[in-house]
Structure 1
Amino acid sequence: MKGIMIQGTASDVGKSLIVTALCRLFINEGVKTAPFKSQNMSNNSYVTFDGREIGRAQGIQAEAAKTEASVWMNPILLKPRSDQQSEVVLLGKGVKTLSGRGYRDSFYEKGIETIVTALAYLEKEYDVVVMEGAGSPVEINLKDKELVNMKVAELADVPVVLVADIDRGGVFASIVGTLELFTPEERKRVKGILINKFRGDLSLFQDGMKWLEERTGVPILGVLPHVENHMIDGEDSLSIGNAIKQRGEAPIDIAVIHLPYISNYSDIEPFFYEDDASIRFVKHPSQFGKPDAVIIPGTKSTISDLQYIKEMKLDEYLIDYVHHGGYVVGICGGYQMLGKSIIDGAGSDTGIPGMRIDGLDLIPAETTFMEQKDTIRVKGYYHPNTELKGKRELEGYEIHLGQTEMLEKEGFFLKLENGREEGYYRSDGKIVGTYMHHLFHNDEWRNLWLNSIRRSKNLPIRDVVYAQDLKEERYDLLAQNFKKHLDWEKLKEIVYEWEYQK
């Protein structure tokens, strides 16, 4: 297999962004390229064309590579449901929920088998595969059954580039320590080092680069700059949290309830392209303030997160906010919370069949959790009974266990192309609920919703911002920026001339 694996000295060193840039660099040279991460742990998922789930990062990397995302690019996805358990999504479909110990003890051989199958498919279909590791590859307590770092590099037989984050400090120790903890066989695969998130005067780091190369015998392939506000979807809530901090304040203040098991937070990323809108997370009533709009996002555990909202007394703030004319949008789990009640009929959300909890009672709806999860791409139009004008198509995807029934047969938000009536839209547009993830990625809808808020604040209305076009530009800018600071020819040489020296 022709490929390369990007591993990191720790989590959040920038592996996902580097893989994204490399995918765009290869495809821009006419090389058919696929991203790959054998095992991802994230509640931020991406629904493929055939209605399967993979990690959001690999979906974005596929976009950068100008190819259709598939389950072969992320065959194993772990979606945390609590501090102790995660749903195991295998080849895009949830198969079971396991503890960390249960996963290691019962899943390893199946995981290896699935990864080998995925690699064989990608090798047949693509010229180059750009792989991503996870966390640190030298977690000694986990190495005997790891499914995402050096074991995968061995299965694919590809070279490895090690990435370190200089912005967090300790870059020399992290690189040398990681290399020292590799076995001799693993160490032979490491053919380059990348220093990421560099700020300041590069000349001050020249002696350090020389020392690292002499100490390790591994060439430094580049010192990549810290990229501010790159606006490319992040893999986890840490990355999006950093993006929010960089955005600062703006005339339109949008508060997002930060649920403990928040999922698919990429739903809010299009607002980063709106100059007059700012996003902030709210975890506690003291942070609520006086927002212009509130978004209750998706969650991997709706009832647990609704209980959290009630424990924090955020439910009282939300209800009072709506009664005083505030704008609220609930997406997926957030939509379920807006209703009168939630019943865990199958025990699929809490493990307690029949458990019932009162919702926020802001819309006339009741949700019942089923055993099987719906995962599907959807398209639809504004429901003809709403005040919304024009037949604008909206598209997104649904991932949910619950089925929501409207207790009043009016107030639907969308009519899907299969004829199903979906979601809730209050007549004044100030309460919206829907199962459609990526609702705000529909540029015309986002503009319509924001213009309503602008009018209420006596702000000038604005034209539509086409975020996807801007996103494509961002992929190219990211790739060009990294290429300037990367020994691109040397990296390609490592890929094309790789041969493991036993």
Structure 2
Amino acid sequence: MSAQTPAQMLMVQGCTSDAGKSTVVAALCRWLLRQGLQVAPFKPQNMALNSAVTSDGGEIGRAQAAQAAACRIAPHTDMNPVLLKPNSDVGAQVIIQGHAIGNMDALDYHAYKSTARAAVLESFARLRAQYQAVIVEGAGSPAEINLRANDIANMGFAEAVDCPVIIVADIDRGGVFAHLVGTLALLSESEQARVKGFVINRFRGDIALLQSGLDWLEERTGKPVLGVLPYLHGLQLEAEDGISREVVPVPSAAQPLRVIAPVMPRISNHTDFDALRSHPQVDFRFIGPDQEIPACDLIVLPGSKAVRADLAFLRAQGWEAAIARHLRYGGKLIGICGGFQMLGQTLSDPQGIEGAAGDSAGLGWLAMRTTLLPHKQLRNVAGKLSWCDAAFSGYEIHAGVSEGPALARPVAQIGELNDGALSEDGLVLGTYVHGIFDQPAACDALLAWAGLVAPRSPDLAAQREASIERLADTIADYMDTDKLMAILKHSVEQAA
């Protein structure tokens, strides 16, 4: 392919959220890489609280960073030019090409979409000029009628760049034929013509029992079923936003470390817990609204996009008293990013960065104060834990600046800088580093601090790589790859 030839392209849309779009895009990216193509992922607009720091110093959805890993390339802000990070039920922080431009409510953002659209098309054009194939992920469903005007996330984007589309449906939810036929019926004629086929995801059972339904679907719609993908258990992939529905495996250790994480309304970057969820020596649980915090060895407070509001929620649930009781009995407590900020004495948001301006009393377990400021810290980091030299790498995404005597007892060194704080009694630890559990050495050290005897942490990066390879195998085994390649080839021929 010459440098002047635009990249082949294909857009993966879904009948619903969590139909498997992100996973199918990652699978296609790795499979195409195996075919010798230079490939990149793209998502025009993402609404997610799981995000990643890119090679060019910006912020994108975490799923696009995982898809970049499937392509074996560094994540870049062009891969997700519009990221919306909800900080209330009606508003979100708007991030354009990696950098926050402010908070908007739904109506304000609707008016802003023409500007966002220009950024989307600019980023996509750059990717098409650099790669041989670009696999695009839609958002939610293209059949959301109330969002059709000025759409940049689904068919509005596909129409603008003349991109072919395949639609994914999750059969595990039930109603797969209604999902696919209904979604197609709600599209315009030109959008229906753009749909080149269907993919049925998360199938369990005998395919022979499904065949009559597949035949009916193809006859009814005139669209081919390009593949029926099996339900793959045990995939270790970073979630786009919602907490994974995958069942956590029962730990194999005789006396596992009991770890819980309270889930607050604006929990962010809960992928921090992936290493604990899959750890054979850890009994990990998320604790949701109206649930009591059970007896455990370690409590981890996650990141948050609205720290003061989530802290108020934590208190309303009665969790503050439960955590205090946990500490009195010698349990350990970790706060990550927003959770770290909650551990201090005060939280101040004088400019209303994450909600209404004001101050909140912190939990008071670390002698520090945090002030939220407009400039967001975005960086990939690597360092060593302060008490054992265990190496880690991760990333920082936060708007807060923390100060106080607690920081004189840092958790980690990152180059010449210190990170985090460890309480004088050694029971409470806080850090700004997301991904602090991901490297085996650091995970071992943190779990040993929390009380686990002889920890043996798995290699999370190797698990994720093996999962991506499994996904690519699934494309090869269960999809009509000849039709898939014909659709990609035709996308370039149309442009010519």
TM norm. shorter chain > 0.5: yes
Pairwise CA distance, 1:409:
5.8
- Contact 1:347/1:371 (<8 A) preserved: no
Pairwise CA distance, 1:185:
0.8
Kindly provide the CA deviation profile for residues 406-454 of structure 1, in whole angstroms up to 9, marking residues without a partner as x: 235631112221x222201236653210111111112211011223445
Q: Which runs of 5+ in 1 are unaligned?
A: none
Distance 2:450 2:419 in 1: 23
1:468 aligns with 2:465: no
Partner of 2:94: 88
Partner of 2:280: 275
- Contact 2:366/2:406 (<8 A) preserved: no
1:448 to 445, 450, 453: 445
- Contact 1:160/1:190 (<8 A) preserved: yes
Q: How many residues align?
A: 485
Describe how 1:342-491 pairs up with structure 2 within 5 A. 342-352=347-357, 355-383=358-386, 388-390=387-389, 392-408=390-406, 410-417=408-415, 419-426=416-423, 429-455=426-452, 459=453, 461-491=454-484
Partner of 1:144: 149
Distance 2:116 2:372 in 1: 29
2:85 to 76, 79, 84: 79
Distance 1:409 1:202 in 2: 59
Letter in 1 for 2:477: K
Distance 1:25 1:316 in 2: 50
1:22 aligns with 2:22: no
- Contact 2:201/2:228 (<8 A) preserved: yes
Letter in 1 for 2:316: E
1:63 aligns with 2:69: yes
Distance 1:285 1:451 in 2: 30
Distance 2:295 2:265 in 1: 22
Letter in 1 for 2:338: G
- Contact 1:119/1:156 (<8 A) preserved: no
Pairwise CA distance, 1:126:
0.4
| Secondary structure, aligned partner of 1:113 | helix
Letter in 2 for 1:367: T
Letter in 2 for 1:305: D
Partner of 2:342: 337
Distance 2:145 2:371 in 1: 43
- Contact 1:7/1:161 (<8 A) preserved: yes
Pairwise CA distance, 1:470:
2.2
- Contact 2:236/2:463 (<8 A) preserved: no
Q: Label 1:163 to 1:104 Cα distance change in 2 as closer, same or farther (>3 A).
A: same
- Contact 2:50/2:269 (<8 A) preserved: yes
Distance 2:469 2:135 in 1: 17
Distance 1:449 1:212 in 2: 52
Q: Label 1:409 to 1:246 Cα distance change in 2 as closer, same or farther (>3 A).
A: closer
Distance 2:215 2:187 in 1: 22
Kindly provide the CA deviation profile for residues 259-313 of structure 1, in whole angstroms up to 9, marking residues without a partner as x: 1100011111112342121321113474311112111000000000001111111
1:131 to 129, 136, 141: 136
Kindly provide the CA deviation profile for residues 195-250 of structure 1, in whole angstroms up to 9, marking residues without a partner as x: 11111111001100100111111011111111222111111124x2x13x343466
Q: Label 1:84 to 1:393 Cα distance change in 2 as closer, same or farther (>3 A).
A: same
Instruction: Using structure 1 for the length normalisation, give the TM-score.
Output: 0.93
- Contact 1:375/1:398 (<8 A) preserved: yes
Pairwise CA distance, 1:153:
1.3
Higher mean C-alpha displacement, 46-55 vs 477-486: 477-486
Instruction: Using structure 2 for the length normalisation, give the TM-score.
Output: 0.94
Higher mean C-alpha displacement, 209-218 vs 316-325: 316-325
Q: Which runs of 5+ in 2 are unaligned?
A: 1-6
Partner of 1:121: 126
Q: Label 1:67 to 1:363 Cα distance change in 2 as closer, same or farther (>3 A).
A: same
| Secondary structure, aligned partner of 2:286 | strand
Pairwise CA distance, 1:138:
1.6
Distance 1:325 1:493 in 2: 62
Q: Label 1:108 to 1:408 Cα distance change in 2 as closer, same or farther (>3 A).
A: closer
Partner of 1:45: 51
Distance 2:74 2:211 in 1: 41
Pairwise CA distance, 1:393:
3.4
Higher mean C-alpha displacement, 172-181 vs 124-133: 172-181
Distance 2:210 2:306 in 1: 46
Letter in 2 for 1:252: L
